[in-house]
Amino acid sequence: MTTERVDSFISAVGATATVHTSTVEQFTETVTDVVTEPAIGTAIGLEGVSLDNTPVETDLTPVALEQAQTGVTPATYAIADYGTITVPTDDEGTELVSLYTPQHVAVLAASQLVPNMEAAYERFGAGFAENSETDGAQPQTQVFATGPSATADMGTLVQGVHGPHEVHIILVEDR
Amino acid sequence: MNTEKDGGTSTERRDAMAARLQSIMDSDGESIGRMTRTANQLSAYAYDQFDATEQLRGEGRKIKENAIENLPALLDQIQKSVESNGGTVHLASSAEDANRIIREIMAREDAEMLVKSKSMTTEELAVNDSLETAGYDVVETDLGEFVIQLADEKPSHLIGPAMHKSPGEIADLFNDTYGLTGDDALSDSPQELTAFAREKVGEQIRQADVGMTGANFVVAETGTLMLVTNEGNARKTAVTPPTHIAVAGIEKLVPSITDLQPFTELIARAGTGQDLTSYISLLTPPVETPIPDFEADTLRPADDREFHLVLVDNGRMAMREDEQLRETLYCIRCGACSNSCANFQELGGHAFGGETYTGGIGTGWEAGVNGTESAAEMGDLCTGCSRCVPRCPVKIDIPWINTVVRDRLNRGGDPDSFDLLVDGLTPDEESTGLDPQKRFFGNIETLAKVGSYAPRVSNAAISSQPGRWLLSQLFGIDSDRTLPALAEETLREWYGARGPQVANPERDVVLYPDLYTEYFDPERGKAAVAVLEALNCRVHIPPVPESGRAPLSQGMVETAREQAESVHSALVSQLDRGRDVVVIEPSDLAMFREEYERLLPEPSFTRLNENSYEILEYVYGLCENGESIDSLSTAAGPLSPVESRLRLRTETVAYHSHCQQRTLGLESYTTELLSDAGYSVRTASVECCGMAGSFGYKQEYAGVSRAVGEELADDFGDTVGELVVASGTSCQEQLGWLYDREVPHPVELLAPPGAD
Ligand code: SF4
């Protein structure tokens, strides 16, 4: 990853979320600092990175989901130009955890930071098409998430509607 | 006399319409105005800041054109891809068909309650009514939709359904509906209202049996839906209940995932001015997410998920076959055209809307899915100002669609008892049954010609009490307005007697004698002649007919086409001589540069387009190419005739450009020239004066027109001691009326003295 790209990602994120950079070794500490308990999470899927030894529960139930203050999930890509992350859908319930909890903590490898929208589409464009044929490993659903959920329906911008009202992004240096 | 099919005279009908518009302006106007103007400004900024805006608009347009062209193949493909993913596709030919399919799915799932995220297509189908009548509970989860569901109203905007409601009104609605009083009652704090609505809606999502979403796009190759939202309700609606029904018009199909990129980057910039909305889901159902059962506190396996995609035709295939309406199918329903529309900002979609769809493009959608008649009331609110065109992310010519629908409505109208009288004066190409008001404005050139044989008699007749009464009875002209007076001498009469007065001309130029300059305000024409001659041009003013703008604005397309042909014939030998054509009236120039593309053969259009110029665009070019601005009347130099006449020497000018002039990108020539001439120039941020040709004269719209104009005057603020100038005839009229003083064209300010 280029530090330039990380910098432009952080500046695009601006006030919509908080970005933390972490080494693999520091990950446990970084997550522990960020989350508010009770916290719930799904497997991150990065080598050397796990939610063991953190306050984050990984046994997802609907009640745990409703009670959690924080949800920790993997993200697939981050887009530097927009300060956006893409959240995958999987059979562990990443979509639910990233959506129902008031604070969302998304974790991804810094090498998954792409410069712009075109690059993001190129990457998962291929993945979506392939998957529809072969049921490969590429997630079939991605949500571009940019900052907290919001509405202007009540007359002015209000943050935190049906989705989280606070977002943290942990970039794990993997190279 | 003049009895209409719905009873009452046309005057009564026009008065009733005026009253209805006034009452909607009173109830909805303030909230709508605040929200749309904010969105419009943010969107202008977002387009401007993003360097790929124009490139992606081009790409988006192409993708939609191709997708509609290849629609039958994409329909085949989507059925296969959704089925191989494990879902079911239903093709619904009509609204009834779609509703039947949806009720059958509900019955098969043994469902009781359905939660919905916002979808205009389900509004079009009236899904809620169909389900409620069949005994199901339906809950809207988008907060705006939730509000209008409780209020039992229709959406007032494509993307902000409750935009017409203030926080105070929403608080009253919630308090009434849920019986909240005393300490429990909600205040008008948007935070408090949002929190309350979120709780109410959240409970329902957790209990629902079925979640229904729309789709902004549907990808044929993969079976992926794109959902664009801010609140997160669509995400929850799609994945929380075990069954997901997505309802989408067939025009939402695109071939592949990468086709979504331009729309991902444009849709929020256009609609809300955000770079992206909070969430853009690329959802390929049935998804792998386990199903949360909140009551039993268990997660059911994702294998239990059901997914149904209901693809709706309901008139769209016919729109695809309709050369003129086809473009409507490219619409991605971002709402930008509504936000940029001055009339929409005053009124909102309850007035500027049909059965389902709102705003400028709503006319095309209504005509396509609900029939031309449903578009009848809304269509005239599009004045053709064209400010929406540069905003549309898929470059739809929205004013043209309104013109076409108006033309069709004109042709479908009943024969009218005044036809014979009006026919004598109005030699147009239109069928009988055309509204006499439209006929009056559409044929204004003939009326002006006839009248100018005896201008004083005509003027006296028009401004007399009986004359005004007659105009309002016959043609629906608002009695508060004074029609412009005919000049004693037309521009061409003056020029014929005077002849060119330039010693050593560098070039020969044709000045187009537009209808207004020719018959009503030759002063702007004389000033243009003086300015051009001072810059060493020999001016020719041949007889050229009206551009066709007047009939086109009344939806009289065939008459406009005839006019365009005649204009071209009248100018072709001038063009052959290598002469440039200079145009004072921006709405006529816009005909030459834009609408003629649809009215003339391609080579004729290209020729006129490439060789015609707005007057001050041309003057700017002359000054850039060796002529000197000091030959003109500058702030420091001699007084121009208009300054002498108005006895006003000023260095500050409040300048109002013209809508179509802005769309053509020509505003800056005037502001730069005036600054170069030493004036300090102010412009307003409000773009539209509200007059829009005949619009402001019409009895039913005069109130809306005045309200739009007042926004502009408010924005300009104090103009004491300033000269107010405007480029368009209508703008000059409207500002003149609002400020009660003469508002000249900027070229008059630059005219050197003594050219008469
Ligand atoms: S016509 Fe264009 S600007 Fe209007 S809603 Fe459709 S896509 Fe948006």
pLDDT in tens, A18-32: 999 999 999 999 999
B293 touches chain A (CB under 8 A): yes
As a whole number of angstroms, the distance between CA B438 and CA B430 comes to: 11
Could you tell me which residue, B438 or A120, shows the higher pLDDT?
A: A120
What is the rounded CA–CA span in Å between residue A77 and residue A83? 11
| pLDDT of residue B615 exceeding 60 | yes
Which of B219, B280, B288 lies at the smallest CB-CB distance from A90? B288
Report the nearest-CA residue for atom 8 of ligand 1: B334
Domain boundary among B314, B341, B362: B314
Q: How far is CA B638 from CA B272, B531, B547, B572, B641, in A?
A: 49, 13, 35, 38, 9
Give the pLDDT confidence of B523-559 residue by residue, as tens digits.
999 999 999 999 999 999 999 998 988 888 888 888 8
Model confidence at A73: pLDDT above 50: yes
Is residue A128's pLDDT more than 70?
A: no
pLDDT at B364: 94
B531 versus B467: the higher-pLDDT residue is B531
Name, in order, each residue with C-beta under 8 angstroms of B666's C-beta and a sequence gap of 6 or more: B586, B589, B614, B617, B657
The Cβ of residue B464 has, within 10 Å, a number of other Cβ atoms equal to 11
* φ and ψ of B88, to 5 deg: -130, 140
pLDDT band (50, 70, 90) for residue B13: confident
| pLDDT surpassing 50 at residue B423 | no
Q: Domain limits at B656?
A: 491-750
Of B611, B634, B652, whose CA–CA distance to B531 is shortest?
B634
Q: pLDDT tens digits for B85-101?
A: 999 999 999 999 999 99
Which residue, among B551, B552, B555, has the nearest Cα to B405 in the 3D structure?
Answer: B555
Domains observed in chain A: 3-115+141-172 (3.40.50.10420)
CA distance B137 to B124: 19
- What's B110's DSSP letter? T
Q: How confident is the model at residue B710 (pLDDT cuts 50, 70, 90)?
A: confident
Query: Cα separation of B236 and B213, whole Å?
Result: 10
Q: Comparing A47-61, B207-221, B473-487, B715-729, which segment has the lowest mean pLDDT?
A: B473-487
pLDDT class of B453 with cuts at 50, 70, 90: low
Pick the residue from chain A with its C-alpha nearest to B146.
A153
Question: What does the pLDDT look like over B71-128, one tens digit per residue?
Answer: 999 999 999 999 999 999 999 999 999 999 999 999 999 999 999 999 999 999 999 9
Residue B755 pLDDT more than 50? Answer: yes
**Mean pLDDT (whole number) for B34-38:** 91
- Residue B240 sits in a domain of what CATH number? 3.40.50.10420
Q: Where are the alpha helices (DSSP H) in B188-339?
A: 190-207, 233-239, 260-271, 316-321, 336-339
Asked which of B314, B342, B365 is the last residue of a domain, the reply is B314
pLDDT digits (tens, 9 = 90+) for B185-194: 999 988 899 8
Q: Which of B325, B394, B395, B402 to mutate to test the pocket of ligand 1 (most atoms within 8 A of CB)?
A: B394
Tokens 């076409």, located at residue: B404
User: Tokens 């909890």 sit at which residue?
Assistant: A101
Residue of B419 and A5 predicted with greater confidence: A5
User: Using one digit for the tens of pLDDT, what is the confidence trace for B652-685?
Assistant: 899 999 988 998 999 999 999 999 999 999 998 8
Give pLDDT, residue B5: 43
Pull the structure tokens for residue B429: 């190409």
The mean pLDDT value for B160-174 works out to 92
Q: What is the pLDDT of residue B643?
A: 85
Among candidates A113, A116, A140, which has minimal Cα distance to A127?
Answer: A140
Name chain A contacts of B160, Cβ cutoff 8 Å: 152-153
Inside any domain, residue B50: no
Could you identify the residue written with the tokens 């629902």?
B208
- Rounded Cα–Cα distance for residues B268 and B274 (Å): 5
* Residue B40 in domain: no
CB count in 10 Å sphere of residue B563: 25
Q: What is the token pair recorded at B78?
A: 């989507």
Q: What is the pLDDT of residue B574?
A: 94
* Residue-level pLDDT at B107: 97
Q: Which residues of A touch B258 (CB under 8 A)?
A: 121-122, 125
**8 Å CB contact of B201 and A162:** yes
Q: Please tell me the distance from the alpha carbon of residue B388 to that of residue B54, in angstroms, as a whole number.
A: 15
Helices vs. strands in chain B: H and E counts, helices first? 37, 19
Q: Who among A61, A84, A125 is closest to B258 (CB)?
A: A125
Asked if A141 and B283 come within 8 Å (Cβ–Cβ), the reply is yes
The CA distances from residue B576 to B563, B569, B580, B611, in Å, are: 20, 11, 10, 11
Query: Which residue carries 């992350």 as its tokens?
Result: A85
Contact B666, B586 (CB under 8 A): yes
Helix A117-134 vs helix B260-271: crossing angle, to nearest 10: 130
Residue B60 CB–ligand 1 contact under 6 Å = no
Residue A67 DSSP one-character state = H
pLDDT of the residue at B17: 86
pLDDT at position B612 is 96
B210-213, strands of its sheet edge to edge: B88-92, B306-312, B243-249, B210-213, B113-116, B137-140
- All residues at 6 or more sequence positions from B34 whose CB lies less than 8 Å from its CB, including other chains: none
Q: Which two tokens stand for residue B611?
A: 């060789």
Q: Is residue B37 part of a domain?
A: no
Final residue of a domain: which of B314, B332, B359?
B314
Residue B298: inside a domain, yes or no?
yes
Q: Tokens 């067939």 sit at which residue?
A: B250
Q: In this predicted structure, what is the pLDDT of residue B8? A: 58
Closest residue by Cα to residue B423 from B449, B442, B401:
B442
- Of B396, B126, B425, the C-alpha closest to B247 is B126
Tell whether ligand 1 has an atom less than 6 A from the beta carbon of residue B393.
Answer: yes
| pLDDT bracket for residue A15 (50, 70, 90) | confident
Has residue B266 got a pLDDT over 70?
Answer: yes
Residue B642 Cα, gap to closest chain A Cα (Å): 47
Q: What is the pTM of this model?
A: 0.85
Evaluate: CB of B398 within 6 angstroms of ligand 1.
Answer: yes
What's the sign of the alpha-carbon dihedral B167, B168, B170, B175?
A: positive
Query: What's chain A's average pLDDT?
Result: 87
Residue A154 has pLDDT above 70, yes or no: no
B743 by DSSP, 3-state: which?
A: coil
Strands A166-173 and A142-145: unpaired
The band of B707, judged by pLDDT with boundaries at 50, 70 and 90, is confident
Q: Is B324 on the interface with A (CB under 8 A)?
A: no
pLDDT of residue B319: 96
Nearest residue (CA) to ligand 1, atom 6: B331
Residue A42 has pLDDT above 70, yes or no: yes
In a domain, B733, yes or no: yes
Give the count of domains, chain B.
2
Confidence of residue B406 (pLDDT cuts 50, 70, 90): confident
Distance from Cα B58 to the centre of ligand 1, integer Å: 14
As a whole number, mean pLDDT of residues B416-440 equals: 51
